[in-house]
Amino acid sequence: METAEIVRRFLTYFENNGHTVVPSASLVAEDPTLLLVNAGMVPFKPYFTGQRTAPYDRAVSVQKCVRTIDIDEVGKTSRHASFFQMLGNFSFGDYFKERAIPFAWDLMTRPRDEGGFGLPVDRLWVTVYLDDDEAETIWRERAGVPAERIQRMGMEENYWSMGVPGPCGPCSEIFWDRGPEFGAEGGPLADEDRYVELWNLVFMQYERGPGETKTDYEILGELPKKNIDTGLGLERLAAILQGVDNIYETDTLGRVLHRAAELTGIRYGDAERSDVSLRVVADHMRTATMLVSDGVRPGNEKRGYVLRRILRRSVRNLRLLAGATEDQTYLHELTATTIDALGDIYPELRDNADEIHNVIDTEEKNFAETLRSGTALFTRAAEKTKTAGSTVFSGADAFQLHDTFGFPIDLTLEMASEEGLSVDEGTFQELMREQREAAKRDAKAKKFGGADIGVYTRLLEGAGATDFLGYTDHESESRVLGLIVDGEPVAAARAGDKVEVVLDRTPFYAESGGQLADKGTLTSEGRGVVDVDDVQKPVSGLFVHRGTVRAGELALDDTVHAGIDSDRRSSVSRSHSATHLIHSALRNALGPSTGQAGSENQPGRLRFDFTTNEPVGTSRLAEVEEEVNTVLSGDIQVHDFVTSLDEALSMGALAMFGEKYGDRVRVVEMSDYSRELCGGTHVGATGQLGVVKLLGESSIGSGVRRVEAAVGLDAFRRLSTESMLVSQLSEQLKAPREELPQRIDALVTRVRDAEKEVERLRAAQVLQAAGELAGNARRCGAALLVTHQAPEGTTGDDLRRLALDVRGRLGEDQPVVVAVTAVPKDRPVVVAAVNEAGQRLGLKAGDLVGEAARTLGGGGGGKPDVAQGGGTDASAVDSALRAVERRVSETG
């Protein structure tokens, strides 16, 4: 069943069941928080959140989606793809589980001649959320799914939310059993490779509160209207209905892949390295074509960078495949193939074909120059690295490639890997940071927030420095000294204006020292309200409040009530105090050379960067965490005072990296445990932090590492979630908590050892037949011929080894042809091997495989000495071998 037909059936089925067919939205998301549309429900998000009223109660769509998080994995597996399509049916307060579940099951299992997909029910499994008894009952009683093929999964797998406060609810998923050759029996809980998720049904019935992770939020109650959101992966379903192993062999992606193979003279399936490149090209050309059609243009930022990156990866992989010269081009042909493959589903591709070709052709031409110059530099640098006996490509050279020739780091990483080299990413990132900081300094010297820096300087000169009250006060009565709109001073700002406000005094903390700025409101009685979402100091001493006039107007010399969000400030202050404690604990653990290299303190969470030459290690990190929480339990008072810089340093106060201090400095101390120069806000005593949970530690550059932590309620939620997960593992493995690491390690080791042993035994069993096969070689025409059908499940690699082994045993004295077949994964494979004498006779392995593969309903080929092919008709294996025999018998 072709992909276009799958789409037609899906839309027709739900249209016949009262759903409005909604065309796919553009990949350029309306949601400003999203770079690109990455899920089928994104266009309907305003209806689910209540921001808008849906114009229909039921909808059905086929939505274009792009996800860039896995872009580096594309091609390495047959599953990852950057562009995909989601079939989905949606209900906005209309039907719920009682209809959604039967709809899905009916469409999946209804016979094809009745408009369904006709999937056999004994190959389908279902999962529900842990306590969703209602869904399980509907699956059993309304859909007729046997209880033994319904499994329960936890919050990570079967509970959905948008990642922010709003709708949430349990999920139910339909899985396809690929068969015993793909893994263990036992359903999705047993083997995720064998059982592939097809359709996810989301039951939005609750409202969630805030939380940092997928599982650490509170359920606030039921929604007034329950909604349905489903997502069925079109590519995965197409692979099943078309009887192929993976999405790259389906009718749409497969056409692009095989066209790329034709253009480069490479046969898909001959070698893993070239197969990876062909998959990269097929996926990326599809993604690029769809992005350009939706208005995205190549650039160096955001969506434009995504498009540029995937086009350049395509060009590079095509040139690697073909050994191309810099004048050769391929993308025009591949774009045309992509448009043709997807045009039935998205007619706008044909309408926009000229523009799509123009954009992609131009980018390929421009990248040719980058490759020409950059590749030469890379080659010289790689040779220098190898000559020096090193395996690490210089970070400075990687930076020069990026800065001078526009080489993205991922391209340098790929090229280095092909040469057997790694890249000093730490130094590269350090140089990139230095460049960004220089750019920031330059931008700050010229402009700030859209206004010339002189605007702020003149305000400071005329009004004086802002009096900061925030250490003691969360609100104040202040006078408006300056208003800036669109970079220009104004006398008044009105409702809807984005405005910058300068006050004579303020309780708002301006972002600095790693601490985020306060948020809050400025209220002018009887005149206007400004929502403040950021505070900065473009010039020293001047606090600039950035926000939007919510109502009324604000004018110069107005008196305003300035009030911060006190709960947010308290949460940020807890994070900042925790940062000081972690700094001291790390110095105690790693030595006094450990220094702060950056930080960010936000509500409930923090990150702390520090200098060290080696990883901290799990056990030492645990010691640091325990030390910090011991200090918390002591409820040490936090004091701050102002003194001279010399006096502070003589007391042992730590000064932060790169900071410039005046003669008078502020010191924050927690007894003798921590004493630092700091301008931030803090708690009154360490006990107010509650608990600090270190979330992990990693390298972010040469000699610089980072720890991240949750503080207070966020830390408690994290610990609660981890405790629940450990309890679940303990119950499933029937082992005490303290024995879980050893038990899991033993299980993993046993599985790996078993897999290796099975592979060894299977390969040995196949090769054992080599001697007997060579002894049974028979005369066919002018050559010795061996044909053999290997046991079911024999892989293509094992077949190749068997053919070469038999050929080697028969020597070079006379022409020899070996043809062997097997049926791995329900699809027949044939391998042919011909010795040099046979090749001189005119027998070519590629020709013989092509003859056999056509009999199998497929194709294949390769070099004259050995070749491989396959097809779809496993019943024709004997006929394929006879076809080889006929061809050999015709030789003189």
The 3-class secondary structure across 351-416, one letter per residue, is HCHHHHHHHHHHHHHHHHHHHHHHHHHHHHHHHHHHHCCCCEECHHHHHHHHHHHCCCHHHHHHHH
Helix (H, G, I), strand (E, B) or coil at 75: coil
- Residue 509: DSSP 8-state: P
Tokens of 102: 């039967």
- Residue 716: DSSP 8-state: H
Query: Is 65 flagged in the annotation as binding?
Result: no
* Cα(594)–Cα(587) distance, integer angstroms: 6
* C-beta of residue 343 within 8 angstroms of C-beta of residue 350: yes
* C-beta of residue 815 within 8 angstroms of C-beta of residue 837: yes
- Beta strand 829-834 with 866-870 is antiparallel
Helix (H, G, I), strand (E, B) or coil at 605: strand
* C-beta of residue 20 within 8 angstroms of C-beta of residue 58: yes
Burial of 128 (0-12, 13-18, 19+ CB in 10 A): buried
Chain-centre distance for alpha carbon 147: 35
Q: What are phi and psi of 580, to 5 degrees?
A: -65, -40
* Cα(544)–Cα(305) distance, integer angstroms: 32
- Beta strand 195-208 with 166-177 is antiparallel
Enumerate the H helices of 407-448 as residue ranges.
409-418, 425-446
In sequence order, the β-bridge partners of residue 498 are 548
The H or E element spanning position 7 is: helix 3-16
- Beta strand 422-423 with 392-393 is parallel
Query: Is 171 flagged in the annotation as binding?
Result: no
In sequence order, the β-bridge partners of residue 863 are none
Beta carbons within 8 Å of 879's beta carbon, 6+ residues apart: 855
Tokens of 816: 């020899």
* Cα(168)–Cα(870) distance, integer angstroms: 46
Query: Is 258 flagged in the annotation as binding?
Result: no
Q: Per 3-state DSSP, what percentage of the chain is helix, strand, and coil (rounded to 5)? A: 45, 25, 30
* Cα(394)–Cα(427) distance, integer angstroms: 8
Q: Which residue has the tokens 């050893």?
A: 742
Burial of 570 (0-12, 13-18, 19+ CB in 10 A): middle
CB atoms within 10 A of CB 649: 16
* Cα(236)–Cα(248) distance, integer angstroms: 10
List binding-site positions for Zn(2+). Answer: 576, 580, 678, 682
Binding site: which residues?
A: 576, 580, 678, 682
